[in-house]
Amino acid sequence: MLWRVPVVAMLAVLTLASSARAECAWVLWGNYLGKISNERYVVLGAFPTIKHCEEAQAYADETSKKKDVNMATTCLPDTVDPRGPKATER
């Protein structure tokens, strides 16, 4: 009977952790290459799910091809910045 408390607690923690991850926002990043600039990331949009981000990514990729813009796109969780860590001020 006492073993049920830790098991229920563990299941609750796992459930909360997985739902928190599922609620992560997604950011569509554009990486302009070539003649526009050397290499520069810009935020193209933020979305509630990866599915929404990937739909916007497909649209952005198609639009950039039509306009002959050399741009790579990627969807990343809002906790990831492809530009790397920010420099600390001294």
pLDDT per residue as tens digits for the range 32-68: 876 655 568 899 999 999 999 999 999 999 999 999 8
pLDDT given at position 5? 39
On whether the pTM is more than 0.75, the answer is: no
Report yes or no on 6 lying in a domain. Answer: no
Q: Is residue 13 part of a domain?
A: no
With respect to residue 18, please indicate whether it lies within any of the assigned structural domains.
no
pLDDT the model gives residue 38: 56
Q: Considering its fold, how many domains does the chain have in total?
A: 1
Q: Is residue 65 a part of any domain in this protein?
A: yes
- Give percent of the chain above pLDDT 70: 63
**Element (H or E) spanning 12, and its range?**
helix 4-22
Of 19 and 44, the structure prediction assigns the larger pLDDT to: 44
Three-class secondary structure of residue 75 per DSSP: strand
Range of the domain at 41: 24-77
Which residue spans within 11-70 are E strands per DSSP?
26-33, 39-47
pLDDT above 50: residue 11: no
> Counting every residue, how long is the chain?
90
d(CA 36, CA 49): 30
Position 16 in a domain? no
Q: Do the domain assignments include residue 90?
A: no
Strand partners, 34: none
